[in-house]
Structure 1
Amino acid sequence: MFTEERLDAIMQCLRQKGTVKVKDLSAKFEVSADCIRKDLKVLENQGKLRRAYGGAILSQDFPLNRDFEDRRNVNVEQKQIIARKAYNCIRENETIFLDISTTNILLAKLLAGNGRHIVAVSNMLDILQVLATSPHITAIGTGGIMVRSVNGFLGAAAIDVIKQYSFDRAFLGSCGVDMVDSSITTLGVEDGLTKRAVLESSRHKYIVMERDKFYFNDSFRFAHFDDIDAIVTDALPDEATVNSLRAANVEIL
């Protein structure tokens, strides 16, 4: 494999996972650890990543994989861990909101497979289809403008419906956090404004996201740390990030 091909392959791994390890890349490409470190330095100089101890993380300015269908099959094990933790937060007879999120699809499957009685509102068709299979769940869709790229409803019509409810708990997806200004981000304004409406209508507010997203942010800030109660993730981020979140009274589950 030529150097440029290896650099492209490393970036493909980063776009999917958000982070890579030198030892893993060395084994994957059958080259020395020193060779991988040189590759990472080249990519860092191009602004595509930031080197970290033992590996690298995606640069804040370089986009993760945004295609919804592709994201279904990325970090599945991590998302299952997150879904289980979120599931354990939900109580009998609560009214909850499940935002557009591949992790929330897995959470919906856990809820549908259990006898817990809840009312679940969602703006995502995949989630509603899963919830509708359970006789114990009252599944409610927001309606609104259908956005095919996420298979869900966004915008003013969906927001009008959301505002009519008072949710016990809401679980929202995110494209990442910005540790500089303590904000939580998503891809676009329509999704961001819809998420804001959910937060305003909820008592307990959770962000569901993989650990890698602590090191990436997207274009639209829909909330700040003081707007949420907890981040549900698969593993703790670095110590500095943990301390910043705890100082903002954000629980890490």
Structure 2
Amino acid sequence: MFTEERLDRILQILQDQGMVKVKDLSTLFQVTEDCIRKDLKNLENAGKLKRTYGGALLSQDYPLKRDVIDRRDTNIEKKRLIAQKASELIGSNETIFLDISTTNIMVAELLAKSHKRLTVVTNMIDIMQTLAINPNITAIGTGGIMYRTVNGFMGAAAIEIIKQYSFDRALIGTCGLDLTDNSITTLGVEDGLTKKAAIASSRHKYLVMEKDKFYFNDSYKFAHFDDIDGIITDSMPDEATSSKLYSAGVTIL
């Protein structure tokens, strides 16, 4: 196999799996690990990936869908599974925060059908509308500056409202993790600071995210692994990622 063919195949694997390991690629292509490291360096220089210890992650320039309207119809079954797990963690008479997240919309749908008595604070309009059908749930919107792309509120005004509460649990959306420095990322500062405020006001903090996001990251780091209690996901990440999270005290559900 020529070098260019191998590079193309590495990129295909990256886009399918989100990450690659030097050892696995060496075995797959029957070349030395040094050869694979050179391939990864060339792809990194081209902006296609980001090298990590023992492998590489898909570059954060990978075109993630950012608008809620684009993301609502993606990975539906995975999000349903995550939402089911998340809703089962929430007990009656709790005060919870549901962050801007298409998965949290599904959490809200399950809670709206339940008999739990809850106070739910959210910065997402879809979630408020969903919860409004259940008289046992007090739904509180943060208000603030409205961002059309996420159909919700972010920024200083929303943060001030969030700071006034003490949440039993917060379910936080994310664009992905950066395994190089154990950080949790999102697409911008306003969203990141709003999420950070919710985490600071909560006793139990969980990320809600599909498995793919273990291998993606975005531009703004709003927290680190030791700031959260757990990650609710559809299936377990690879062993190295799981071990890194467990060592930071993060439970994977």
TM-score normalised by L of structure 1: 0.80
Equivalents in 1 of 2:57, 2:84: separation in Å? 26
Question: Which residue of structure 1 aligns with residue 112 of structure 2?
Answer: 112
Q: Answer yes or no: is the 8 Å Cα contact 1:100–1:152 preserved in 2.
A: yes
Matched residue, 1:123: 123
- Residue deviations 1:146-169 (CA, integer Å, cap 9, x gap): 111110011111111101100000
Displacement after TM superposition at 1:65 (Å):
1.7
SS of residue matched to 1:78: helix
* Equivalent pair of 2:43/2:49 in contact (CA under 8 Å): yes
Q: Which whole-Å CA distance do the structure 2 matches of 1:60 and 1:158 have between them?
A: 27
> Percent sequence identity over matched residues?
62
Task: Kindly provide the CA deviation profile for residues 7-30 of structure 1, in whole angstroms up to 9, marking residues without a partner as x.
Answer: 9xx98x94xx7659xxxxxxxxxx
Match of 1:161 in 2: 161
Match of 1:133, SS state, is coil
Aligned residues of 1:63 and 1:218 also touching (Cα < 8 A):
no
Instruction: Determine helix, strand or coil for the equivalent of 1:205.
Output: strand
CA distance in 1, matches of 2:89, 2:159: 25
Q: Could you state the TM-score of these two structures normalised by the residue count of structure 2?
A: 0.80
Gaps of 5+ in 1: 1-6, 21-33, 35-40
Q: Deviations over 1:107-160 (max 9, x none)?
A: 000000111111101000000000111111110000111111110011111111
Q: Identify the residue that residue 103 of structure 1 maps to in structure 2.
A: 103
Runs of 4+ in 1 over 2 A off after TM superposition: 17-20, 41-51, 56-63
Q: Aligned partners of 2:102 and 2:155: how far apart in 1?
A: 20
What CA deviation, in whole Å up to 9, does each residue of 1:174-229 have, x standing for no partner? 00000110000000000000011101100000000000001011000000011100
The Cα of 1:57 is off from its aligned counterpart by: 6.7
Letter in 2 for 1:147: Y
Deviation for aligned residue 1:82: 0.6
Give how far 1:58 is off. 3.4
Q: What is the Cα-based RMSD across aligned positions, in Å?
A: 2.6
Aligned residue type for 1:215: Y
> 2:89 is aligned with what amino acid?
C
The amino acid that maps onto 1:167 is F
Give matches, 1:32-111, under 5 Å: 46-48=46-48, 58-111=58-111
Structure 1: how far apart are the matches of 2:57 and 2:155?
Answer: 33
Indicate whether 1:188 and 2:188 are aligned.
Answer: yes
Query: Residue 18 of structure 1 contacts residue 64 of structure 1 at CA under 8 Å; is this kept in 2?
Result: no
What is the DSSP-based 3-state SS (H/G/I as helix, E as strand, rest coil) of the residue aligned with 2:206? Answer: strand
Q: Helix, strand or coil: the match of 1:120?
A: strand
Whether contact under 8 Å (1:229, 1:251) holds in the other structure is: yes
Gaps of 5+ in 2: 1-7, 20-28, 30-38
